[in-house]
Copies of this chain bind each other. A is one copy, B any other.
Amino acid sequence: MRPTRVTIKDISRKAEVSIATVSKVLNHDYSRVSDETRERILRISNELNYRPNMLARGLVSHKFNLLGLIVPDISNPYYGEMARGMSDEAETLGYSAMISNTDNQRAREINSIQTMAEYNVGGIVMTGEIGVSEENVALLKRYRIPYVGVENYGPDADYCIYVDNYTGSYKAVQLLIEYGHRDIAYITGHVELHSPGDDRLRGFLQAMADADLPVNPALLKSGGFTLDNGYRQTLSLLSRNNQFTAIACGNDLIALGAYQALRESRLRVPLDVSLVGFDDMFMTNTMEPRLTTVKQPAYEIGEEAIRMLVHRVENNPIADKVKCFEPLLVSRDSVAPPAKKES
């Protein structure tokens, strides 16, 4: 029950006009207001250091300039970068941002949407590694909340931004093949339908198929786009005496885990094992050896998502409901020709 702040009522009292007039002036609607009155109101509003109460404004005008950002994990640098892009662009466009982490759990996604609905967000950007569920879309539509999906395109996700994961993955694997690798392991995260993980896996499989290379199921690992998963799966790969000369990773975090496991096993990158990642997180450039990976422009994706969302929120015409970013293969030092086999 904290004391309330300065309101337009205070201004109207001091300026000896009605609150309606104050409201108009403060909204830069100067019709039907004399210059003198306008100046008086503006001056007093400044003196009192008036700040509008967005709750009241939102309640009556049905405009609440708050956007919801739903991400799997803000502490993941990739999403941190994207969130930064979203936050910056939102600020530029006069909006604020509310954020929620889901850890890629359906229940938490639902929960976030509902909470954001309660808080009357103007729109939501949905990010996730498991694709947008029909349930999510249904909920967003029921609450009539405009949304944009990022990396996350279910059958019904009409508005979305994504990176061509299939092609990016294809190129990375193709690079390994060009270097002469034939026994290529693949470690990835979640592989649900219509998700980035799914597309990247298909890119891998197609690249192998196009080169007439067999895919050894024992070399296919999933479990999560995390460093820990990369570490564990690599150890698992090594422990079974599998034959492989390269690992394609579903993202950079997995690659980071692979580095660690390989190093602990006294294997050198790229001499013993070549490695490619996905995302191009900022630290991959400082690793030793520097990681060859596929760049996703996280910051720009975030910006673009907000741009599209705000267009929807404000009912502006939208050029394209779907925007695809091209991934870029960044060739660095973690890929080399396979070592001669001694077996």
A interface with B by C-beta (< 8 Å): 1-5, 49, 51-56, 58-59, 62, 64, 66, 69, 73-77, 80-81, 83-84, 87-88, 91, 96-101, 114-120, 142-144, 227, 256-257, 259-260, 263, 282-283, 285-288, 299
User: Nearest-CB distance from A82 to chain B (Å)?
Assistant: 8
Closest chain B residue, CB of each to CB of A83:
B74
Alpha-carbon gap, A285 to B5, bound state (A): 49
Q: Does B143 lie within 8 Å of A5, measured CB to CB?
A: yes
Known: A80-B76, A263-B288. A66 touches B96 (CB 8 A): no
Residues of B within 8 A of A56 (CB): 59
> What CA separation (Å) do A73 and B125 show in the bound complex?
20
Complex CA gap A117/B99 in Å reads 17
User: Which residues on the B side are within 8 Å of A282 (C-beta)?
Assistant: 227
In the complex, what's the smallest C-beta–C-beta distance from A111 to chain B, in angstroms? 9
Q: Which residues of B contact A263 (CB under 8 A)?
A: 288
**A230 nearest in chain B by CB position:** B286
B118 touches A54 (CB 8 A): yes
Determine the chain B residues whose CB is within 8 A of the CB of A259 once the complex forms. Answer: 286, 288
Chain B residue contacts of A114, Cβ below 8 A = 51
Q: Are A84 and B73 in contact (CB under 8 A)?
A: yes
* Pairs of residues from A and B, 6 with the lowest C-beta to C-beta distance, nearest first: A75-B84, A80-B80, A75-B80, A288-B288, A75-B81, A55-B55
